Structure 1
Amino acid sequence: MTMIDRRSILAGSAALLAATTVRAADAPGDTLKGAAASKDRRFGSAFAWSPAGADAGSFANPAYAALLKRDCDVLVPENQMKWQAIRPAADRFDFSRFDPMVEWATTNGFALRGHTLFWAYSRWFPTWLNTHDFGQRPAIEAVRILDQHIDTVTKRYGRKIDSYDVVNEAVDPDTGTLRETSLSRAMGGTANVLDHAFRTARAAAPHAELVYNDYMSWEDGNAKHRAGVLALLAEFRRRGTPVDALGVQSHIGLFQPTTDAGAVAKRLEPEWRAFLDRVTAMGYRLVITEFDVRDKGLPAAIGPRDRGVADFARAYLDIMLSYPQLGDVLAWGLSDRYSWLRGFEPRPDGEVTRGCPYNMDLKAKPLRSAMMAALAGGVRQARRAA
C-alpha cells in the first residue's frame, strides 16, 4: 500500500520485544499457515527491512521474525521492492535492502510474492520518473524503461518469487477510470502500459502467477472503483493480456460509529459477492494481498473493539474463502505495533489502531482466532493450471 518510514512513528524498545517469548497458540499445529494449508492455501504477511535488532516489522527483529516463522509460509516485501526503493535513478538499481530480505526468506523456507513491478500512480513514482525526458521517440524510451525494470527484477530473483503484483492500483477510485502517468503519456495511454507490463512479465517470469492488485473494497463508496476494476479486467480478457488473478488488497474498515459489525457486514455482502462473481466468471483467480482492518467506527474500549474487528473480519473472510478460486491469503503485517494504519489511518480519538492479528506487545487477539476459523472453514482451493 503506502510508503511509510516506520522510524518516524515507532519508538525503540527492540530489546524488550526481542526478549519476549512469542506464544501464538496452545497447540503446536494451531497456526494461521496450518489453517490455510488444511484447504490447500498459503498464509503470509508483508515484512520489512531494518537494521539488526531494530524495533520494526522486520526479519531482523527476532521477536517479529518469530511471528513470521510461526504463522506464515509466504511473505511479501512491504515497500522494499517498489520503484522508489530499488530504482533511485533511471540508470541505477539498488537492491541492498531487498536482497537480504530475499535471502532470509528463502533460507528459512518461505515462498515469496513480488510487490510490485509497476505501481501505476504518479504519486508513488520516484521523482526522476515523473520528470523524465522521454525524448523524440517517447514510446520507445518508455518501453525501454519499463522493460529494463521488469527484466532486471524478475531475472535477479528467478524462481525465488512465484507470484507478482505486476500492476498496482491503476484505477482511480473516484472516477473508475485509469490513472495517467508519465509512462502512459509517453506510450499513448494507460492501457498500453498495463498490457505491456503484463506481457513483459509473462515472458520474463513464465513460472509466476501474474496479478493485477487494487484496493476496491466492499464498503460504501466503492461502487465506482469496483466498476472500474471490472471494466479493466474485461478489457484485459478482450485484448488477451496475460493476467492470472485479481489481487484484492482487503484493507477493510468500519468508518461510521457502530456496535454491530456483523450487521454492517451482512448489509455489504450482496454487492461484494456480485463483484466477486463477475471477476471469477471472467476466469480470474483471487488473491488476498494486504489484509487488515480499519477500526475507526468501533468503540475505543478494547474488548468491544476487538470483538467488532473480529466479527467484521470473519464475515469478510468467510465470503472470500467460499470461492475455490481464492489462493494465497496475506496480511499487511501481523502486529499493530508496526502497522501502516498507525500513520495513515489513525483513529480520531488517538487510540492505537487494532487491525492486525497481534497487538502492540505481539500477543494474539480475537482477530487472529477469527482468521484461524475462517481459513480452516473455507472451501478447498481449486489449484490453478500449471
Structure 2
Amino acid sequence: MKKINRRTFLSGIGSSLAFLCINSSAAAKKTSIEQSGLAEVFKDRFRIGTAISSDTLVNNNSRLLRLIAREFNTITAENDMKWEMIRPSLDNWNWEVADKFVEYGLENQMLMVGHALVWHAQIPDAVFFRNGKPKSKNEMLRIMENHVGTVVDRYKHAISVWDVVNEAIDNNKWRQTNWYKQIGNEYFEKAFALAREADPSAHLIYNDYGMDNPDKQDFLLLAIRRLKSKGIKVDGVGMQLHAALDGPSAKQVENAIVKFHKAGLQVHITEMDLDVLPKVDDYSGAEISTNYQYDERLNPYTEGLPDHIAKLHTKRYTELFEVFVKHSDKVARVSTWGTVDSESWKNGWPVKGRTNYPLLFDRNYSPKEAYHSIINLAS
C-alpha cells in the first residue's frame, strides 16, 4: 500500500483556513456527525489520533480496533516501538508486535507515528553499561546510530512521522539521563541527524511533557535553533498534554502553541489524557519512573465517576479543544494516549491499582459527554 508520506501529512493543514469560511448551516446534524467519527469531523482542522497498546495488538481486540478505525486517522504505538520492546538486548530484535501495528495502520490507511527512537526509559542497561561501568561516548553513539538507522529504515515505507527524542529536558536544563551524562547534549543533535539521514522525507518531532512551561519552551527553542545553525532540522514539537482537572490552563496551552508556531514548528498534541484522581504530593509531571504507594484516599471512584467530576472532565476537554480549533492553522494533530479508560496507563501510574477515567470513551467502549461536547465544536 502507498506510503502516507510527509507531503500527504502536511497537505491537510493548508485546508484548515478554507474550512473556517464554511457557513455553520452546512454542518450535518449531530447524529450524522457522530456516526462518522472524530477523524471525519475534524478532518479539515487537524488529524485526530490515539495510542494503541500491546494488549490490543497481541490479543487482536477486534472490538477496540474497529472503534479506533472508525474514530481516528492517526495512530501511535504506545510501547511497541520503544527500545526495550523491539530490541530487548543489543543482539536481539523483536519486530512482531511493531509489525502488527504497521499492518493495521496500512490496512486502515492511517498516518502512523513512530514512538520513540531515543529515550532514557524503557531501554536495556546494556545500551549504557558494560559490567556495571559506563560505556564510552563513541560506543554509545555507534549503538544509537545502529538503532535509529535500523528502525527507521525498516518502517520508512509506512511511518513518516517520528518522535525522535523523548523527554530530554528538565524545565530549563538538560535532563540528567544516561544519554546526557555519558554523551552530553550532542546526543540530541546526533539523534535528529541520524533520523534525517535514515529517511530524509520524514517529519521529525521532539516530544515532551510539561510543554506549557515557558522555561522549558525557551530551552527547547534554543536547542532547536542551534541544530538549525548546523543544518539539522526539527520539524515539530510534541506537547504530550497529560492534563489534570486543575491544569494546565487553556491559556497556558494556547500560549505554548502560538510560541512554537512562531518559531516555525508544527505543533502536535501527542499524548493527551485528563487525570481526574487526586494528585500525590501535588506532582504534575509525567516521569515514568515516578511511583507512589497505594492509598484508598487516592482512589475514590472505583464504582464510577460522580456527576460533578464528570462535568469537570467534559469542561476541561472542551476548553482545550476550543484552543485547538481556534489554532487549527498551527496544530497538525491531536492524539489521545489511549482510547478507552480501561487501557489507560493512568490506572497504574503514578500509583498502581487505581481506577481512572482520563479518555473520551468509557470502559464499555461508549463515548462520554466530553466526546459529544468536542464533536459540537466542529459545527
Instruction: Give the whole-Å Cα distance in 2 for the aligned partners of 1:136 and 1:333.
Output: 36
- Which residue among 205, 209, 221 is the counterpart of 1:211? 205
* Match status 1:169 vs 2:160: no
* Match status 1:273 vs 2:270: no
- 1:230: Cα distance to partner? 4.0
- 1:372: Cα distance to partner? 2.3
1:159 aligned counterpart, secondary structure: coil
- Which residue among 178, 184, 204 is the counterpart of 1:182? 178
- 1:70: Cα distance to partner? 1.0
From the superposition, tell whether residues 59 and 371 of structure 1 become closer, same or farther in structure 2 (CA, over 3 Å). Answer: farther
From the superposition, tell whether residues 49 and 311 of structure 1 become closer, same or farther in structure 2 (CA, over 3 Å). Answer: same
- 1:226: Cα distance to partner? 4.1
Alignment-derived partner of residue 372 in structure 1: 375
> Per-residue displacement from partner, 1:7-35 (whole Å, max 9, x unpaired)?
xxxxxxxxxxxxxxxxxx84275310011
1:61-210 mapped onto 2 (5 Å cutoff): 61-119=61-119, 121=120, 123-132=121-130, 138-173=136-171, 176-187=172-183, 189=184, 191-210=185-204
Q: Is the Cα–Cα contact under 8 Å of residues 241 and 271 in structure 2 kept in the other structure?
A: yes
* Match status 1:359 vs 2:362: yes
- Which residue among 329, 332, 341 is the counterpart of 2:337? 332
1:207 aligned counterpart, secondary structure: coil
* Match status 1:319 vs 2:323: yes
From the superposition, tell whether residues 351 and 287 of structure 1 become closer, same or farther in structure 2 (CA, over 3 Å). Answer: same
Instruction: Give the whole-Å Cα distance in 1 for the aligned partners of 2:176 and 2:262.
Output: 28
* Match status 1:252 vs 2:258: no
Instruction: Give the whole-Å Cα distance in 2 for the aligned partners of 1:131 and 1:142.
Output: 9
Instruction: Give the whole-Å Cα distance in 2 for the aligned partners of 1:345 and 1:134.
Output: 28
Structure 1 runs not aligned, ≥5 long: 1-24, 51-55, 256-263, 378-386
- 1:275: Cα distance to partner? 2.9
Instruction: Give the whole-Å Cα distance in 2 for the aligned partners of 1:296 and 1:156.
Output: 40
From the superposition, tell whether residues 232 and 373 of structure 1 become closer, same or farther in structure 2 (CA, over 3 Å). Answer: farther
2:50 aligned counterpart, secondary structure: strand
Instruction: Give the whole-Å Cα distance in 2 for the aligned partners of 1:312 and 1:44.
Output: 19
1:292 aligned counterpart, secondary structure: strand
Instruction: Give the whole-Å Cα distance in 2 for the aligned partners of 1:254 and 1:213.
Output: 22
- 1:200: Cα distance to partner? 0.9
Q: Bigger CA drift: 147-156 or 106-115? A: 106-115
Instruction: Give the whole-Å Cα distance in 1 for the aligned partners of 2:238 and 2:259.
Output: 14
From the superposition, tell whether residues 125 and 136 of structure 1 become closer, same or farther in structure 2 (CA, over 3 Å). Answer: closer
Give 2:239's aligned amino acid. Answer: V
Q: Bigger CA drift: 320-329 or 147-156? A: 320-329
Instruction: Give the whole-Å Cα distance in 2 for the aligned partners of 1:134 and 1:193.
Output: 21
Alignment-derived partner of residue 48 in structure 1: 53
From the superposition, tell whether residues 212 and 161 of structure 1 become closer, same or farther in structure 2 (CA, over 3 Å). Answer: same
Structure 2 runs not aligned, ≥5 long: 1-29, 280-299
- 1:184: Cα distance to partner? 3.2
Instruction: Give the whole-Å Cα distance in 2 for the aligned partners of 1:236 and 1:332.
Output: 29
Q: Bigger CA drift: 138-147 or 26-35? A: 26-35
Give runs of ≥4 in structure 1 deviating > 6 Å: 133-137
Instruction: Give the whole-Å Cα distance in 1 for the aligned partners of 2:127 and 2:238.
Output: 25
Q: Bigger CA drift: 336-345 or 291-300? A: 291-300
Alignment-derived partner of residue 36 in structure 2: 30
TM-score, length-scaled by structure 2: 0.77
Tell me how large the CA RMSD over aligned residues is. Answer: 2.9
Q: Is the Cα–Cα contact under 8 Å of residues 47 and 59 in structure 1 kept in the other structure?
A: no
Alignment-derived partner of residue 229 in structure 1: 220
Instruction: Give the whole-Å Cα distance in 1 for the aligned partners of 2:169 and 2:366.
Output: 37
- 1:293: Cα distance to partner? 0.6
2:42 aligned counterpart, secondary structure: helix
Q: Is the Cα–Cα contact under 8 Å of residues 290 and 332 in structure 1 kept in the other structure?
A: yes
1:211 aligned counterpart, secondary structure: strand
Q: When the two structures are aligned, how many residues end up with a matched partner? A: 325
Q: Percent identity?
A: 25
From the superposition, tell whether residues 98 and 269 of structure 1 become closer, same or farther in structure 2 (CA, over 3 Å). Answer: closer
From the superposition, tell whether residues 227 and 58 of structure 1 become closer, same or farther in structure 2 (CA, over 3 Å). Answer: farther
Q: Is the Cα–Cα contact under 8 Å of residues 134 and 186 in structure 1 kept in the other structure?
A: no
- 1:233: Cα distance to partner? 3.6
Alignment-derived partner of residue 8 in structure 1: none
TM-score, length-scaled by structure 1: 0.76
Instruction: Give the whole-Å Cα distance in 2 for the aligned partners of 1:136 and 1:318.
Output: 48
Q: Is the Cα–Cα contact under 8 Å of residues 88 and 123 in structure 2 kept in the other structure?
A: no
Instruction: Give the whole-Å Cα distance in 1 for the aligned partners of 2:338 and 2:134.
Output: 44
Instruction: Give the whole-Å Cα distance in 2 for the aligned partners of 1:35 and 1:58.
Output: 30
- 1:124: Cα distance to partner? 3.2
Give 2:67's aligned amino acid. Answer: L
1:361 aligned counterpart, secondary structure: coil
Give 1:286's aligned amino acid. Answer: V
Give 2:366's aligned amino acid. Answer: K
Q: Is the Cα–Cα contact under 8 Å of residues 342 and 363 in structure 2 kept in the other structure?
A: yes
Q: Is the Cα–Cα contact under 8 Å of residues 210 and 243 in structure 1 kept in the other structure?
A: yes
Q: Is the Cα–Cα contact under 8 Å of residues 145 and 194 in structure 2 kept in the other structure?
A: yes
Instruction: Give the whole-Å Cα distance in 2 for the aligned partners of 1:44 and 1:272.
Output: 18
1:164 aligned counterpart, secondary structure: strand
